Amino acid sequence: MGNRLDGKVCIVTGGGSGMGRACAIEMATQGGRVVVADINEAAANETLEAILAAGGEGIVSVCNLRNPDDIRGLMHLAADRFGGIDVLHNNAAVHETDLTARTSIEELPEDIWDAVYEINLKAIWLAIKFAFPFLKHSQRGPAIVNVASTGAFVSYPQAGAYCATKGGVLMLTKAAAVDLAPHNIRCNCYCPGAIDTPMVKKYYEAAPDKDAIMSVLTGSHLIRRLGKPEEIAKLACFLASNDSSFITGAAYVIDGGTLAWRGTHS
């Protein structure tokens, strides 16, 4: 067990799988008291079991991020259980390929666009809004860590809604950093490339030409592989910790070198 987040109360949305699970476990390993928030209770409990098995501390909150009352309740649960909130990690996201086979811009159903927007962007704004009354009283160095994407900078096939919302996350992060600075609350985001998560696997498997999509996913990586959730978790913990106390409004790219050149090997 480390102590980078010693005693901090950390909320991780989408903590039941993928990067969220890795981040929740790493935050607990670094001494954080973690609230694993996910719509999938079984998946969230699996994450909690891993946290407890490693000697960490945490609880589960079943949360539908399309429901503002659930988001508000998540904040109150964390504060009631642990006495406050120190870290808000807005990790949860969906991709249109999670929800429909009609993913191109001209075919994407309006309700799918709305779902991606509500989970990927609106829920982050609401989480910040509802966490603020608790974060502003934190004595441990309050921090918000959002997850954007390389899709905030460049586009990918069949990902119009995803990329648009991730671009929004990037600018929401900067706006929150400005507005919350008087309260000593830092807000940063990180922008992953293709990471070995269930979302990426589903995106790949839904593609008609899997080889072409895998080329898009990893062909532009200078480090020629998918990223690992555990690598993401190390960065998330740094941004959540007081080791990054002079960093706010920043967007950290963790993409295997993709945005260094954004080329694609054939």
- Whether 212 maps to a domain, the answer reads no
Q: What is the 3-state secondary structure (H, E, C) of 44-69?
A: HHHHHHHHHHCCCEEEEEECCCCCHH
SS3 at position 18: helix
Inside any domain, residue 214 = no
pLDDT at 125 over 60: yes
- Among 117, 156, 162, 190, the active-site one is 162
- Give the range of the structural domain holding residue 47, as residue numbers without chain letter: 9-195+229-254
Domain presence at residue 34 = yes
117 classed as catalytic = no
| Percentage above 70 pLDDT, the chain | 98
**With bands split at pLDDT 50, 70 and 90, how would you rate the model's confidence at 170?**
very high
Residue 266 is predicted with a pLDDT of 43
Looking up tokens 């899997």 gives 210
93 assigned to some structural domain = yes
The whole-model pTM stands at 0.95
Mean pLDDT over all residues of the chain?
95
- DSSP string covering 159-174: -HHHHHHHHHHHHHHH
Sign for the pseudo-dihedral over CA of 214, 216, 222, 226: negative
Within-domain flag for 215: no
**What's the pLDDT at 74?**
99
User: How many domains are contained in the chain?
Assistant: 1
Q: Is residue 179 part of a domain?
A: yes
| Mean pLDDT value of segment 111-134 | 99
Identify the CATH number of the domain in which residue 44 sits. 3.40.50.720
Strand extents, DSSP E, the chain: 9-13, 33-38, 57-62, 87-90, 143-147, 186-192, 251-254
Q: Is residue 265 part of a domain?
A: no
Confidence of residue 60 (pLDDT cuts 50, 70, 90): very high
pLDDT digits (tens, 9 = 90+) for 180-226: 999 999 999 999 999 999 878 877 777 778 787 777 778 889 999 99
Contacts of 171 (CB under 8 A, 6+ apart): none
pLDDT recorded at residue 63: 98
pLDDT at 52: 99
Residue 6's φ and ψ, nearest 5 degrees, are -50, 110
Q: Is residue 149 part of a domain?
A: yes
